[in-house]
Amino acid sequence: MNLSHLLLRIASMDPQRPAIFSGHRITATHQQWAARCARLADQFQSAGLQPGDRVALFMRNHPRYLEVLFGAWWAGLVVVPINAKLHLREAQWIVDNAQARWAFVTADITSDCGENLRGLERVIDVASPEADALLAAGDDGGYGPITDRQADDVAWLFYTSGTTGRPKGVMLTHRNLMTMGMAYFNDVDPISPQDTIAYAAPMSHGAGIYAIPHLMAGARHVVPDSGGFDPEELFALGRKIGPLSLFAAPTIVKRLVDHAESARETPDRCAAAFKTIVYGGAPMYGADIQRAIRVMGPRFVQIYGQGESPMVGTALSRHHLSDVTHPRHAQRLASVGVAQTPVQIRVTDSDGRDLPQGEVGEVLIRGDSVMAGYWRNPQASALALRDGWLFTGDMGALDADGFLTLKDRSKDLIISGGSNIYPREVEEVLLRAPGVAEVAVVGAPDPEWGEVVVAFVVPQLGVSLDLQALDALCLQEIARFKRPKRYEIVEALPRNNYGKVLKTELRGRFLPGPNQRAGNHGGPLSSTVLPSGSDT
């Protein structure tokens, strides 16, 4: 099994059908896409890359993402997608950990700081003549052979942020991604060759692997000129070559709906631009999805998954979202839906025993979408995968109809604008600043971003902290979107009897009413909100 066979199948069946678009311009038919992948695979092989070797993609969204991705698979290589928003140092850590041999980059990522990734045999700018040469294929319709892979061979080595401050490489196999692709048709949306997927979210994440079901159907792939999310651009593009289907985090969906409302779009006009909007990756508030459906019509589907079972956990269908006459419609809106076809879901206590309906416990997933394990990390793999079940770290409850409602995250993960931020990473940076004694980073609710990063900082005795300097340190060390938007300078952090910081109490300080605990255990000496920009 090799995912590239999906491309060969469509290219043989329907060679001249337009496949990849940059904005509204066609950049490849299915035949050209396959020919370029075969040519690239040949180049990898000539350079001595062996099946199973890693190739990193540190790129903003770009039409060539799809060519490099399937070209690497064609040669049996493992793709390591790297979030374009990461700091070069973070990307370098991933490249080193994965022992990648080549990397493909977009110049804007690396040229900002005048540096580039190191320790690789080749770093190729996808917009350069060098990349043109690697992908230069004739139009004769002949393709070199696809390298054979087993279903359980790794295809996509996806790095999650780690709670220990180090990301972990999630090993996703050809079988995992094939399963994800097929589940889309049954659980999310049927796709036809006339459909068009737009990549408005990072292709290094779930949005990028949604290329697979769309390729299965022979649909069209569009990378907007902006390379990301611009509501006006998406509406215009959708009307020109759509209607579009896309994946977006709840924050982005909200902005699209804001735009539709202010531009006085009707659901009918929205239907001309958008077929299906899939959302997930972070909680969506009930009121927000109701408004989204009211303004843009019933074109939304929610999914819940995680890097370890990508895009496949549960789904809340278009039908369930719109079925307002159902007696439990309100509860369903607040849920993440039912188990997707290829997986089973359980909710268990800390000893792994099933809990009765309605009780909150850890969410477990089992099925062919679940990762093979973490890259060279048997300890973390053994913790996450037990008896064939993935322990997600998410807390939730199942109802009698199988709908899962997420209650909380067992880890202290912050999700801001759909991007995951692990507090420990930020804490480790801040603790290096002179004059800082202690730090605890938590997420505070935010109407726009879902959550924003807040750092509680205890200064060393007699020190007056320069918050701009803390901000500058974060900018130097970690991705922009991870740095705190707000600092609370406190005398002490609340701790339990074992000396552990009580993050729940810190989070409680941002809640209105009786939970508000400011003033306990050393309330804020001062609170400063830094100008945040729009970099989440």
Chain positions contacting ligand AMP, by CB under 6 A: 160, 280-283, 302, 304, 306-307, 336, 392, 394, 406, 409, 420
Nearest of 15, 9, 26 to residue 220 by alpha carbon: 26
Q: Reduce the DSSP state of residue 449 to 3 states and report it.
A: coil
Pick between residue 282 and residue 343 the one whose CB is nearest to ligand AMP.
282
Contacts of 504 (CB under 8 A, 6+ apart): none
**Measured distance CA(413)–CA(306) in Å, rounded:** 13
Shortest reach from residue 424's CB to ligand AMP, in Å: 16
Nearer to ligand AMP, 154 or 406 (CB): 406
Torsion (CA) 211, 215, 220, 223 in degrees, nearest 10: 20
Q: How far is the CB of 52 from ligand AMP (least distance, A)?
A: 24
Q: Measured from the CB atom, is 29 or 302 closer to ligand AMP?
A: 302
32's CB contacts (< 8 A; 6+ apart) are: 19, 137, 139
Minimum distance between the CB of residue 21 and ligand AMP, rounded to whole angstroms?
26
Cβ contacts of residue 244 below 8 Å, gap of 6+?
A: 196, 197, 198, 222, 234, 237, 238, 273, 274, 275
Smallest distance, ligand AMP to C-beta of residue 46, A: 36
317: buried, middle or exposed (CB in 10 Å: 19+, 13-18, 0-12)?
middle
Taking the least distance from each CB to ligand AMP, the nearer of 76 and 373 is 373
How far apart, in Å, are the Cα atoms of 440 and each of 264, 338, 426, 437, 525?
Answer: 44, 35, 9, 11, 15
Query: By C-beta, is 279 or 487 nearer to ligand AMP?
Result: 279
Nearer to ligand AMP, 71 or 281 (CB): 281
Nearer to ligand AMP, 412 or 471 (CB): 412
* Helix, strand or coil, per DSSP, at residue 274: strand
Cβ 304 to ligand AMP, closest distance in Å? 4
| Min CB(85)–ligand AMP separation in Å | 13
Please say which residue, 9 or 87, places its beta carbon nearer to ligand AMP.
87
**Hey, how many other C-beta atoms are within 10 angstroms of the C-beta on 245?**
25
Closest CA to 308 of 452, 445, 164, 420: 420
Comparing CB distances to ligand AMP, the nearer of 169 and 238 is: 169
Name every residue whose Cβ is closer than 8 Å to that of residue 333 and which is 6 or more positions away in sequence: 286, 289, 290, 321
Q: Among residues 100 and 282, whose Cβ is nearest to ligand AMP?
A: 282
- The rounded distance, in Å, linking the Cα atoms of 12 and 141 is 9
Looking at the Cβ atoms of 63 and 202, the one nearer to ligand AMP is: 202
CA pair distance 72, 43, nearest whole angstrom: 10
Closest CA to 171 of 311, 343, 366, 308: 308
Minimum separation from the CB atom of position 26 to ligand AMP (A): 31
Q: In the chain, what's the furthest Cα-to-Cα distance?
A: 75
Query: Residue 315, SS3?
Result: strand
Minimal distance, residue 208 CB to ligand AMP, in Å: 12
Q: Closest distance between ligand AMP and the C-beta of residue 280, in Å?
A: 4
CA dihedral 184, 186, 188, 193 (to 10 degrees): 60
Whole-number Å distance between alpha carbons of 338 and 399? 10
Q: In the chain, count of helices (H) and strands (E)? A: 19, 27
Of the candidates 167, 172, 251, the residue with the CA atom closest to the CA atom of residue 209 = 172
Question: CA distances (Å), 208 to each of 32, 149, 414, 532, in order?
Answer: 20, 21, 22, 28
Q: d(Cα 127, Cα 330) in Å, to the nearest integer?
A: 48
Query: What is the nearest approach in angstroms of ligand AMP to the Cβ of residue 97?
Result: 17
CB of 523 to ligand AMP, least distance (A): 30
CB of 409 to ligand AMP, least distance (A): 5
What is the smallest separation between the CB atom of 309 and ligand AMP, expressed in angstroms? 9
DSSP letter (8 states) at residue 184: I
Shorter beta-carbon distance to ligand AMP: residue 245 or 306: 306
Instruction: Please tell me the distance from the alpha carbon of residue 285 to that of residue 304, in angstroms, as a whole number.
Output: 14
Considering beta carbons, is residue 198 or 282 the nearer one to ligand AMP? 282
Residue among 283 and 352 whose Cβ is closer to ligand AMP: 283
- Shortest Cβ 284–ligand AMP spacing (Å): 7
